Chains A and B, each alone.
Chain A
Amino acid sequence: MTKVLFEHRGKKGVDTFEGWEAVGGFEALKRALKMKPEEVIEEVKTSGLRGRGGAGFPAGVKWGFVPKNTGKPIYLCINADESEPGTCKDRVLMEELPFMCLEGALIAAYAIGAKLAFWYIRGEFDLSERVMSRAVEVLREKGVIGKDVFGSGWDIDLVVHRGAGAYICGEETGLISSVEGDKGQPKIKPPFPAVEGAFRCPTIVNNVETLAAVPWIINKGGLAYAALGTEKSKGTKLFSVSGAVAKPGVYEVEMGYPMHDLIMNECGGPQFGKTLKAIIPGGSSVPVLPAKIAMEMNLDYESVQAAGSLLGSGGVIVIDESQSMPELLAILGRFYAHESCGQCTPCREGTGWGSRLLDRVAEGEGKDQDMPTLERIARFMTGTTICFLASSMAMPIQSFFKHFRHEFEALLPVTTEAKGD
């Protein structure tokens, strides 16, 4: 199977400037600098590369939204605020292939016309932050970040901006607020960041994994990338598998790879030979699926959606029969209640109220109307807020109830049916 992101993973010294150069590093950046920015954007459009942070929006199309000749500076923000429970792929890219990530970011900055880029890295990250900061220093020393990069006449600066513990800063407008020195509260769209983002200037926010694929695309061509994967989900994707499997880890597979093969081959099957009960395929915010359904689907945006969930960030959380679903949902509820930024009432109140109800249900102290109440809260939280955090709690509630209702009912005083109000 073709590897795009992990082609050079594990090679000796590939995390150094010289090591990255030795495997053909910076050829793509040099090539891009000889192209017109629009040509670079066109190549990425051809590749079909979609945003790997969770939303799956085509990267080249996003870059194309930056208005020309506004006279304002343009900014690139690299989203390395990896915090979605179950997701740990960007960390691997940064720790093991820092110069590939940076090369992709520099190509993107050139394509959109940015002169300053912010590498927004999660506050808790230690090794990734040290590796990235050191790599940026090295690139400054070598003149790859600075004035007249590779004699092209193009100037770029890039700073590593460390977050400080807020899940919501992974949302692109929350990230922008945080870069501006504010609380990381998301902003209403439109205007979209590409038109008016950081410092009210055009801004592109891209996930690390998205940018890390760009050097390969520029070297091998957009068509070569588009030849991988499925018709609508092109290329490869990293899946960080966690939970009840023998070999959890971060694996790169082509889009459309069967979930069954990922779990049984790459991950060595269920841990301790237990029976799998459920799988959350794309990070904690997406709907959970019974293992039976999940194991029959392929890993691409369309197939996962057809099966009733979302590909999201590719954080595959595997749950076996020994786990209590009400307990796991209560854990997720606490997480969203903790991370709500507090500006929208349905989210601030809904996550807190929902979490308190989920806690008491999981502890066997639920009341007979708790499930209908939770369903109402989930419904009123969906689509009524500035960002997706509220929906990210509603989707787990609704899907856990849909597929594992009996486990919740077993903990409640009487059997309940949802009321249709």
Chain B
Amino acid sequence: MQTDNIEDVVDAAELEAKTADWKLSPEREAMIDDLQSRYPTKKSTLLPVLWAIQEQEGWISREWMAYAARRCDAALSHVLGVVSFYTMYHRKPVGKYHVQVCRNISCHIRGAPKIIAAVEEKLGLQNGGVSSCGKWSLEHVECLAGCSWAPVMQINRTLHENLGPDEALKILGELE
């Protein structure tokens, strides 16, 4: 069981002890070793280390934050601050398909509200929601730099452009 509530008070020493021998997959450990030989300080590899954790685990628990702190020579409180600052690090599990729909100005002008409404209805989710089966999560996001091909939505890492509500629903349908 790993800790997902950022407000939970967790004893740092306890976390450190619990995760003292934790390691990522050998390829990821090798990738981090390589980066740490190139970057000027260990702490500066914190963002890539957090990405490696999230790619492996799907989200970043307090336990894995303790691992990152040890790996990057940083305080756990520093890692907690960094993880909560950047919106793409998930502090709770998200759906297998994390759907991000852009709500910013260029997408809005080209019909984003219709895409958002269609996707919300189809998934039965509101902004920030995760489906009970764990398959879907939905987030309204700010500009994804797809402005000239608006409106756009991103599912996990894949960007879908020039959408109409029908195209958006078709893409979701294919993942069902």
A and B associate: yes
Q: Given the complex of chains A and B, what is the CA–CA distance between A313 and B150 in angstroms?
A: 18
Binds A, one of B2-10, B14-22, B102-110: B102-110
Q: Given the complex of chains A and B, what is the CA–CA distance between A250 and B47 in angstroms?
A: 31
A331 contacts B by Cβ under 8 Å: yes
Q: Given the complex of chains A and B, what is the CA–CA distance between A127 and B158 in angstroms?
A: 8
Residue pair A242, B150 in contact (C-beta under 8 Å)? yes
**Chain A interface bracket (under 10, 10 to 19, 20 to 34, 35 or more):** 35 or more
B82 contacts A by Cβ under 8 Å: yes
- Which of A83, A157, A249 has a CB less than 8 Å from the CB of B145? A83
Q: Given the complex of chains A and B, what is the CA–CA distance between A161 and B49 in angstroms?
A: 11
Q: Which residues of B contact A86 (CB under 8 A)?
A: 105-106, 143, 147
Please encode chain A, from 156 to 169, with 1 for each CB lying within 8 Å of some chain B CB and 0 for all others.
01010111111100
B41 contacts A by Cβ under 8 Å: yes
Query: Given A159-B39, A242-B106, A248-B150, is A85 in contact with B88 using a C-beta cutoff of 8 Å?
Result: no
Tally of A-B residue pairs with Cβ under 8 A? 148
Residue pair A181, B43 in contact (C-beta under 8 Å)? yes
Q: Which residues of A contact B45 (CB under 8 A)?
A: 181
Residue pair B88, A184 in contact (C-beta under 8 Å)? no
Residue pair B154, A124 in contact (C-beta under 8 Å)? yes
Q: Which residues of B contact A163 (CB under 8 A)?
A: 47, 86
A106 contacts B by Cβ under 8 Å: no
Interface residues of B in 79-135 (CB under 8 A from A): 81-82, 85-89, 103-106, 108-110
The dominant DSSP class at the A interface is mixed
Residue pair A328, B108 in contact (C-beta under 8 Å)? yes
A335 contacts B by Cβ under 8 Å: yes
A323 contacts B by Cβ under 8 Å: yes
B144 contacts A by Cβ under 8 Å: yes
Q: Which residues of B contact A164 (CB under 8 A)?
A: 47, 50-51, 86-89
Nearest-CB residue, chain A, relative to B150: A242
Q: Which residues of B contact A157 (CB under 8 A)?
A: 38
Q: Which residues of B contact A318 (CB under 8 A)?
A: 109
Residue pair A84, B87 in contact (C-beta under 8 Å)? no
Residue pair B48, A161 in contact (C-beta under 8 Å)? yes
Residue pair A199, B47 in contact (C-beta under 8 Å)? no
Among A123, A164, A167, A338, the one with the most B-chain Cβ atoms within 10 Å of its Cβ is A164
Among A84, A86, A334, the one with the most B-chain Cβ atoms within 10 Å of its Cβ is A86
Q: Which residues of B contact A250 (CB under 8 A)?
A: 148
Query: Given A163-B86, A240-B148, A250-B148, is A127 in contact with B159 using a C-beta cutoff of 8 Å?
Result: yes
CB of B163 to closest CB in A, whole Å:
14
CB of B71 to closest CB in A, whole Å:
11
**Chain B interface bracket (under 10, 10 to 19, 20 to 34, 35 or more):** 35 or more
Q: Which residues of A contact B26 (CB under 8 A)?
A: none
Residue pair B48, A123 in contact (C-beta under 8 Å)? no
Q: Which residues of A contact B170 (CB under 8 A)?
A: none
B142 contacts A by Cβ under 8 Å: yes
Query: Given A181-B46, A181-B47, A181-B74, is A338 in contact with B142 using a C-beta cutoff of 8 Å?
Result: yes
Q: Which residues of A contact B154 (CB under 8 A)?
A: 124, 126
Nearest-CB residue, chain B, relative to A328: B105
Query: Given A73-B40, A88-B147, is A161 in contact with B106 using a C-beta cutoff of 8 Å?
Result: no
A392 contacts B by Cβ under 8 Å: no
Q: Which residues of B contact A103 (CB under 8 A)?
A: none
Nearest-CB residue, chain B, relative to A396: B105
Q: Given the complex of chains A and B, what is the CA–CA distance between A90 and B74 in angstroms?
A: 33
Q: Given the complex of chains A and B, what is the CA–CA distance between A328 and B104 in angstroms?
A: 9
Q: Given the complex of chains A and B, what is the CA–CA distance between A244 and B111 in angstroms?
A: 10
Residue pair A181, B44 in contact (C-beta under 8 Å)? yes
Q: Given the complex of chains A and B, what is the CA–CA distance between A338 and B127 in angstroms?
A: 14
B146 contacts A by Cβ under 8 Å: yes
Q: Given the complex of chains A and B, what is the CA–CA distance between A122 and B88 in angstroms?
A: 11
Residue pair A331, B105 in contact (C-beta under 8 Å)? yes
Query: Given A124-B154, A163-B47, is A88 in contact with B146 using a C-beta cutoff of 8 Å?
Result: yes
Residue pair A167, B147 in contact (C-beta under 8 Å)? no
Residue pair B86, A165 in contact (C-beta under 8 Å)? yes
Nearest-CB residue, chain A, relative to B148: A248
B72 contacts A by Cβ under 8 Å: yes
Residue pair A248, B149 in contact (C-beta under 8 Å)? yes
Residue pair B105, A183 in contact (C-beta under 8 Å)? no
Q: Given the complex of chains A and B, what is the CA–CA distance between A90 and B147 in angstroms?
A: 12
A196 contacts B by Cβ under 8 Å: no
Interface residues of B in 43-72 (CB under 8 A from A): 43-48, 50-51, 72
Q: Given the complex of chains A and B, what is the CA–CA distance between A250 and B106 in angstroms?
A: 14
Q: Given the complex of chains A and B, what is the CA–CA distance between A93 and B20 in angstroms?
A: 44
Extra contacts besides A124-B154, A159-B38 (14): CB < 8 Å:
A82-B145, A87-B147, A88-B146, A123-B88, A161-B47, A162-B51, A163-B86, A164-B88, A182-B82, A248-B147, A248-B149, A317-B109, A331-B104, A331-B105
19 A-B pairs within 8 Å (CB atoms) are namely A83-B142, A83-B143, A85-B142, A86-B106, A122-B145, A123-B88, A124-B144, A157-B38, A164-B89, A166-B85, A180-B44, A181-B72, A181-B74, A183-B81, A199-B44, A242-B106, A243-B110, A244-B109, A317-B106
**3 tightest A-B contacts by CB?**
A164-B86, A165-B88, A242-B147
